[in-house]
Amino acid sequence: MEIAVLVKPVPDAETRLRPDAKGLALDPEGVKWVLAGYDESAVEQALLLKEAAPGTTVRAISYGPVARAEEVLRSALALGCDAATSLEAPPEAPTDAVSVARALALALTKHPASLVLCGKQAGDDEGGIVGPAVAELLGLPDLGVATNVRWDGGPGGLTMERSVEGGLEQGRTALPALVALQQAWNDPRTAKLPNILKSRKAPIERIPAAEVAAAMAPSAATAPRRLGFRLPPPRTGAKMIEYKTPEEAAEKLVRILREEAKVFP
């Protein structure tokens, strides 16, 4: 089986957020770009399936400015992916989800996969749009956000659980299909040092910007335009409730929640 994993470079969770000079996006100055959290789950899922089904190969695919995309592709290789494709962002790199999905679909057309894995949403824009858009572009069923994926070896044998309001739904689909992975239910592995070193020299296929731009072009007219990127006013710290007895603290809090915060009928 051929598996493709879509991995997005996102700012490290510790990044101090600052708007750029125009106030339109995150200031990229000094940002460390890492594999998005849910994408780690997707890579882990791919590797688990590979271990269960010998002969499976896993290709990681990333779109973005070359240095960022290749950084996260090397992380994916160090974890155990077999191959990597970087889609070089054109100048003025579009970042809207559907354009990005078109770029990723280009790579998937060159390297057809029976199973495409992606993250539920990326830790930066938290859109959750790219995966389903890729599925629609390629005519694949998408299983939505899954928490557990098993393959029983045949072409009709993908079983998964997905989280919906009120519980877990179990379903099956034929391959090819796309699945978005949620949280670290599968406890992603960490890369071993020798593999990290090896990944530094591993070849990464690069699809040039001109070709990527052509694939993205049909979405230019629908791409959202950024008007602002803002930080919320800093939280000033809790208003501490003074009290002599627990009962007094409780009554004061209930009154505040009702009358001041109005979150309690």
Ligand X SMILES: Nc1ncnc2c1ncn2[C@@H]1O[C@H](COP(=O)(O)O)[C@@H](O)[C@H]1O
Give residues 195-214 in contact with another protein (rule: CB under 8 A).
none
Q: Tokens in use for 146?
A: 């899954």
Residue (of 93, 94, 62) closest to 219 by Cα position: 94
22 touches another protein (CB under 8 A): no
6 touches ligand X (CB under 6 A): yes
214-223 burial: b if 16+ Cβ within 10 Å, else e: ebbeebeeee
230 touches another protein (CB under 8 A): yes
Least separation in angstroms between CB 205 and another protein: 25
HSE of 198, CA atoms in CB hemisphere, 13 A: 13
137 touches another protein (CB under 8 A): yes
Beta carbons within 8 Å of 63's beta carbon, 6+ residues apart: 8, 69, 86, 87, 89, 100, 103, 104, 212
21 touches another protein (CB under 8 A): no
97 touches ligand X (CB under 6 A): yes
62 touches ligand X (CB under 6 A): yes
Give the pairing of strands 158-164 and 167-173. Answer: antiparallel
Cα four-point dihedral sign 149, 150, 151, 157: negative
> Is 237 exposed, middle or buried, given 0-12, 13-18 or 19+ CB atoms closer than 10 A?
exposed
- Per the DSSP assignment, residues forming a β-bridge with 179 are 117
232 binds, among ligand X, another protein, none (CB under 5 to 8 A by kind): another protein
Least separation in angstroms between CB 137 and another protein: 6
Whether residue 176 is preceded by a cis peptide bond, meaning omega within 30 degrees of 0, is yes
Closer to ligand X by CB, 78 or 179: give it.
179
164 touches another protein (CB under 8 A): yes
Distance of CA 2 to the CA centre of its chain: 20
100 touches ligand X (CB under 6 A): yes
Maximum Cα–Cα distance for the chain, whole Å? 70
Among 21, 193, 210, 238, binds another protein (CB under 8 A): 238
Which residues ranging from 40 to 79 are in contact with another protein (CB under 8 A)?
A: none
Cα four-point dihedral sign 39, 149, 100, 210: positive
129 touches ligand X (CB under 6 A): yes
142 binds, among another protein, ligand X, none (CB under 5 to 8 A by kind): another protein
130 touches ligand X (CB under 6 A): yes
6 binds, among another protein, ligand X, none (CB under 5 to 8 A by kind): ligand X
Site residues (vs ligand X, CB under 6 A): 6-8, 36, 38-39, 42, 62-64, 97, 100, 104, 118-119, 121-122, 125-131
